[in-house]
Amino acid sequence: MNELGKMTLLYAEDEPATLKLHTEYFENYFKQVYTAENGKQALAIYKEKEPDVVVLDINMPLVNGLEVSREIRKKDKKTQIVLLTARIDKEAFMEAVELGLTAYLEKPITRRPMQAALAKISDAFTKQSVGKLWFFDDQFFTWDKNKQELCHGKTEIHLTKKEKQLLDLFVSSRHRNVTYQQIYEYVWFEDQDKEYSENTIKTLIKGLRDKLPPQAIKNVYAIGYHLNTKF
């Protein structure tokens, strides 16, 4: 499940001891783990951080886990969602199936079903890792998320480490605007003591743009940028 190490996870649980215990477990697998203590907070973090995976306790204050899942699925069909519940509710289970959730697990969660869910997430991530971005000069531009490779036809296009991270962020956020702050947090994740600078980000954007088709990255006034694809 090495692929999980490239992904981010949001975990929402209102019981502090359980939250702490499972957060430590998830941190062994994921690049970054965000936590929330209720459904309202979970939705706010989801909208800000756009995690790859969301794990939700179904019984949370303010907004329950099923309602959070509904909100996510209104516009997002890709994020992997796991629901945790103290008892199997047939009606809730059927709705979870209809929403296309990855897993519906009964608490207390033991290691085997959770690892099975993580393996399923990893497998889904692998299957969707290569995607077509543009058709230009009679060939497709493709991005392999696992290998972090951009190709035009069969020719690999050389990208710097930060250009790869930037393109990965754009592809993960396809159909959504990406803010300067999101770019900074994603690309400079390991170096966040570096002073934030829009000019540094603009220089990085220019370098990536020069390697992509015209109008592949569009400016969004006062917000940031948007990846323009037809797929």
Tell which CATH classification among 3.40.50.2300, 3.40.50.300, 2.60.40.10, 3.30.420.40 matches the domain 2-127.
3.40.50.2300
Nearest to 68 by CA among 102, 104, 40: 40
Tens-level pLDDT at each residue, the chain (231 residues): 667 887 899 999 999 999 999 999 999 999 899 999 999 999 999 999 889 899 998 888 889 888 999 899 888 878 889 988 876 666 666 766 777 788 888 888 888 888 898 888 887 776 666 678 898 888 889 888 777 899 999 899 999 999 999 999 998 886 688 999 899 888 887 665 667 688 999 999 999 999 999 999 999 998 999 998 764
Nearest to 168 by CA among 123, 204, 197: 204
Residue range(s) in the chain whose domain bears CATH number 3.40.50.2300: 2-127
Locate 10 and state its tokens: 């949001």
Predicted confidence at residue 193, as pLDDT, reads: 65
pLDDT tens digits, residue range 130-154?
678 898 888 889 888 777 899 999 8
Alpha carbon distance 186, 72 (integer Å): 21
Alpha carbon distance 136, 164 (integer Å): 20
Predicted confidence at residue 95, as pLDDT, reads: 67
Is residue 27 within 8 Å of residue 5, measured between CB atoms? no
Predicted confidence at residue 112, as pLDDT, reads: 86
CA distances (Å), 101 to each of 69, 77, 80, 126, 156, in order? 8, 9, 7, 17, 35
Predicted confidence at residue 98, as pLDDT, reads: 73
Predicted confidence at residue 167, as pLDDT, reads: 94
Residue range(s) in the chain whose domain bears CATH number 1.10.10.10: 130-227
**Residue 231 DSSP symbol:** -
pTM, to two decimals: 0.58
What CATH number was assigned to the domain covering residues 130-227?
1.10.10.10
